[in-house]
Amino acid sequence: MKHLFGFLFYIFKLLIVISVFGGFIYYMNKQKDDKESAAQAKLEPYNIQIERYLKNSSITDVKIPAKGNVIFVDEKTRRVDNFSDYTISPYNQPTDPDDVDSVVLHNCDYVQVGSYTNGSKAMQHSCSFTVIDVATGAWSNWGEFRGTMPPEEIKRKRGSSSDETGGRAIYSFFKAGGLVDRLSPPQ
């Protein structure tokens, strides 16, 4: 009988540990879902006006940089990206859907540029960018940019096969002058 009581007590403790761990996982997932929902709710007013932002009145051969209040739009989904996905000045982020001056339309993928001895792929970020002046509807194609190369060598345990990537292509676009960043607040 004493062994049965000890066994049941052990099962009880195990259930408590599993419940606490499960509760923690649920809480973390809930926090992540709530954060994502809040971000999507913030972007919805911008997504409603996506047709206005992407109006194509003309195509220019001149590379016009994005300036003023800028949003980034995924060409495949035609949805506005989270503002926090890009390292631009807060002064270049619109606070109202009617205040968007420029759109950076992007089409991005990862291209395999090599492989590692453990079987992982070496991937480089590649994007084509088009800047749209919302006021005039002028589209300026900036072409394709690539992020930095992934590391030449990785050190992982044998059997680990997650792909390794280099830096994002957006930084090459910024470096080429694709964004006029307002570094100080408007006067």
- Residue 136 near residue 58, CB atoms below 8 Å: yes
pLDDT in tens, 47-60: 999 999 999 889 99
Q: Same domain, yes or no, for 109 and 134?
A: yes
Residue 147 within any structural domain of the chain? yes
Q: Same domain, yes or no, for 22 and 108?
A: no
DSSP of 41-84, one letter per residue? HHHHHHHHTHHHHT--SEEESS-PPB-SSEEEEETTTTEEPPGG
Q: Same domain, yes or no, for 93 and 170?
A: yes
Task: Give the tokens for residue 57.
Answer: 């009145």
pLDDT at 108 over 60: yes
Question: What pTM does this model have?
Answer: 0.74
User: End of a domain among 33, 48, 63?
Assistant: 48
Look at residue 169 in the predicted model and tell me its pLDDT. 94
Q: Rounded to whole angstroms, how far apart are CA atoms 91 and 113?
A: 36
Q: Same domain, yes or no, for 26 and 118?
A: no
Q: Same domain, yes or no, for 128 and 66?
A: yes
Q: Same domain, yes or no, for 6 and 62?
A: no
Residue 23 is part of which domain span?
1-48
Q: Rounded to whole angstroms, how far apart are CA atoms 107 and 140?
A: 14
- Residue 98 near residue 85, CB atoms below 8 Å: no
pLDDT in tens, 127-159: 999 999 999 999 999 999 999 999 888 776 665
Q: Same domain, yes or no, for 81 and 160?
A: yes
User: End of a domain among 16, 32, 48?
Assistant: 48
The number of folded domains in the chain is 2
